[in-house]
Amino acid sequence: MTFRVAMAQLDMLVGDIKNNTESVIKAANEARDHHQADVVVFPELTLTGYPPEDLLLRPSLDRRIEESIQKILNEVHDIYVVVGYPRRIDGDLFNCAGVIHQGRLLGEYSKQKLPNFKVFDDKRYFEEGCEPLIVTIKNVKVGLSICEDIWHPDSSLQAKEAGAELILNLSASPFHIEKMGVREQLLHKRATETQLPIVFVNYMGAQDELVYEGGSFVVNAHGEKVSQAPWFETGIYAVDFSVDETRDQKVVPVPCSIAPALSIEESVYQAMVLGLRDYIEKNRFKGIVLGLSGGIDSALSLAVAVDAIGAERVQAVMMPYTYTSSMSLEDAEEEAQLLGVNYSVLPIEPMVSAFMKTLEPEFEGYGKDTTEENLQARTRGVTLMAISNKKGYMVLTTGNKSEMAVGYATLYGDMVGGYSVLKDVFKTLVFKLCRYRNTLSYVIPERVITRPPSAELAPDQVDEDSLPSYDVLDEILHLYIEMDMSAEDILGLGKFDRETVYRILRLVDLNEYKRRQAPTGVRLTERGFGRDRRYPMTNGWHIGE
């Protein structure tokens, strides 16, 4: 006998329970009619979208979920539907997976392991479940688990002891660099512990700073991957299981298509594109406007913007000042032409002069300093926001993680905007991503990649006048921000001088107030600024320990 499972990898809109329910119904019918599936499995909290955050506290949530479940019960038949949603039981809210068939809710499983670290806040909203759920589908005893459950042995072993012959895991596991390999190792371990095949169905899409890349897959009882859905693509992907009562392993997945693995650069780039596309489309912006400086960060940001929503909805604006080089003007124009975007050149010198004239009485007796440099950046910010207001385009900021870490950015200047695709991208990775993007098609001039980075806010200025080389800076930042190492621990590696380490770490801590006011952006590492790293702006912690 063959038992067919369809993995529904869909992109939902958080809070849009009505339309999410319609998507579930449509996908279930497609799984039944087109894929001839016996069961269709949706990710964690599909009906609300993920993560719903404090929408889970809204008084009308219970009614909306009940109506949604009832609609699925009424409209989907002749296929088992396993779908995730929040459900209040005896006054407590649980993260549930329900099994629906022929107008009946056959059972509900409540998530047992509630993550409360990094980007997860499950314990803020949910109570822990404690019981397994085994449902017989086509003579196969199926056990359920939800996301974090599979990261611990307890729930899977509990399902095995209750008689499960196959485990379905409904997940909303967010992307970070190399997360794909981590999941494979994890399921290999769970499968070999239980000697059961596992179906891992992952969420697809982006929600604010979080990206979910899909990549649903199946492992057999030996932990070997036998099926792999594509990454960063919505769709319904079916896998067959051979069911034979006479074998030691009654339920065995039949090997089928395995999507190719992605390189780090390819996966990060696709995450950036998906994050930006979903943010623009789900928030209904007409398009994107960004400042194009001729530098590498804005060049990469422009390429991502075009790949996300198309050149016809992207406007690039070069805003030259006295210190803008002819090289920057030439490179910015070439980038815009290569990508086919609407391109404007708006000199800011008259505006900066007007500001300086107005401020002259206030500045009397003070020498020139970074105030004048920041005024240039803030004039550009005002210009971009004016275009945004007039045209309904969102301003895309272009600062990278290295700059944001040490405060190498201007509040209300180049930090102005609604979203950032480079927020969690160190400068050294920016260079690699540009090289990767040019392998798809040449859109970033070689000179932009090879020239020394500069803010061009002062004569002959380059970034390394005030910062160490990006190779050194990024490694120190990685150790401090993502590895939580102290200054003395970093010095203990014997690779960096004391003055540089302490100066960089002080800059990181001093500039927390800037990052709190920065736009959201795609989370790509295990420790991005935002939901991941919540440090107090005012504190007396000593960085050496």
For residue 18, the domain's CATH number is 3.60.110.10
Claim to verify: residue 253 and residue 305 sit in the same structural domain: no
CA triple 80-258-227, angle to 5 deg = 35
- Residue 249's pLDDT is what? 80
Binding site per annotation, positions for ATP: 291-298, 398
Please report which confidence band the pLDDT of residue 324 belongs to, taking 50, 70 and 90 as the band edges: confident
68-101 tens-digit pLDDT: 999 999 999 999 999 999 999 999 999 999 999 9
Residue 200 has pLDDT above 80, yes or no: yes
For position 364, which CATH number holds?
3.40.50.620
Residue 448 has pLDDT above 90, yes or no: yes
Please report which confidence band the pLDDT of residue 371 belongs to, taking 50, 70 and 90 as the band edges: very high
Contact of 210 with 523, CB cutoff 8 Å? yes
What total of structural domains would you count in the chain?
2
Q: What percent of the chain has pLDDT over 90?
A: 86
Please report which confidence band the pLDDT of residue 170 belongs to, taking 50, 70 and 90 as the band edges: very high
Residue 152 has pLDDT above 90, yes or no: yes
**Token digits for 464?**
């390394």
212-268 tens-digit pLDDT: 999 999 999 999 999 999 999 999 999 999 887 777 788 888 988 999 999 999 999
Claim to verify: residue 434 and residue 404 sit in the same structural domain: yes
Give the Cα separation of 245 and 140 in Å (integer).
10
- Burial (0-12, 13-18, 19+ Cβ within 10 Å), 283: exposed
Nearest C-alpha neighbor of 109 from the set 123, 97, 126: 97
Binding site per annotation, positions for L-glutamine: 173, 179
Claim to verify: residue 162 and residue 302 sit in the same structural domain: no
Nearest C-alpha neighbor of 467 from the set 376, 378, 404, 534: 404
Give the Cα separation of 166 and 195 in Å (integer).
9
Binding site per annotation, positions for deamido-NAD(+): 374, 403, 514
124 lies in a domain?
yes
Please report which confidence band the pLDDT of residue 544 belongs to, taking 50, 70 and 90 as the band edges: confident
477 lies in a domain?
no
- φ/ψ (deg, to 5) at 57: -95, -5
Residue 182 has pLDDT above 90, yes or no: yes
Claim to verify: residue 278 and residue 244 sit in the same structural domain: no
Please report which confidence band the pLDDT of residue 543 belongs to, taking 50, 70 and 90 as the band edges: confident
Q: What 3-state class would DSSP assign to 528? A: coil
Claim to verify: residue 257 and residue 225 sit in the same structural domain: yes
Claim to verify: residue 195 and residue 154 sit in the same structural domain: yes
Contact of 288 with 315, CB cutoff 8 Å? yes
pTM of the predicted structure, to 2 decimals:
0.94
Q: Which of 428, 463, 498 is at the close of a domain?
A: 463
Which of 111, 160, 250, 282 is flagged as catalytic? 111
- Residue 460's pLDDT is what? 62
Claim to verify: residue 179 and residue 158 sit in the same structural domain: yes
| CB-based burial, 32-54: b 16+ in 10 Å, e otherwise | beebebbbbbbbbbbbbbbbbbe
Q: What 3-state class would DSSP assign to 499? A: helix
77 lies in a domain?
yes
DSSP 513: H
Residue 48 has pLDDT above 80, yes or no: yes
497 lies in a domain?
no
Give residue 396's domain range. Answer: 265-463
Which of 44, 165, 184, 335 is flagged as catalytic? 44
Average pLDDT over residues 505-532: 91
485 lies in a domain?
no
540 lies in a domain?
no
Claim to verify: residue 441 and residue 325 sit in the same structural domain: yes
Query: Cβ atoms within 10 A of the Cβ of 407, count?
Result: 17
- Residue 532's pLDDT is what? 79
Average pLDDT over residues 531-538: 83
Question: Could you tell me how many helices (H) and strands (E) the chain has, helices first?
Answer: 17, 20
- Residue 348's pLDDT is what? 95
Catalytic (active site) residue 44: yes
Claim to verify: residue 394 and residue 372 sit in the same structural domain: yes
Please report which confidence band the pLDDT of residue 526 belongs to, taking 50, 70 and 90 as the band edges: confident
- Residue 542's pLDDT is what? 80
Which of 96, 108, 127, 147 is flagged as catalytic? 147
Count CA atoms closer than 13 A to 1's CA, side-chain side.
Answer: 13
- Burial (0-12, 13-18, 19+ Cβ within 10 Å), 72: buried
Please report which confidence band the pLDDT of residue 178 belongs to, taking 50, 70 and 90 as the band edges: confident
Catalytic (active site) residue 111: yes
Please report which confidence band the pLDDT of residue 458 belongs to, taking 50, 70 and 90 as the band edges: low
- Residue 294's pLDDT is what? 93
| Between 459 and 533, the higher pLDDT residue | 533
- Residue 456's pLDDT is what? 60
Q: Which of 463, 480, 504 is at the close of a domain?
A: 463
109-120 tens-digit pLDDT: 999 999 998 888
Q: Which of 442, 463, 484 is at the close of a domain?
A: 463
377-415 tens-digit pLDDT: 999 999 999 999 999 999 999 999 999 999 999 999 999
Claim to verify: residue 209 and residue 292 sit in the same structural domain: no
Claim to verify: residue 28 and residue 160 sit in the same structural domain: yes
- Burial (0-12, 13-18, 19+ Cβ within 10 Å), 260: exposed
114-147 tens-digit pLDDT: 999 888 889 999 999 999 999 999 899 999 999 9
89 lies in a domain?
yes
| CB-based burial, 134-145: b 16+ in 10 Å, e otherwise | ebebeebbbbbb
Average pLDDT, the chain: 94
490 lies in a domain?
no
**Token pair 């449509």 in the structure block, residue:** 26
43 residue type, one letter: P
Claim to verify: residue 201 and residue 281 sit in the same structural domain: no
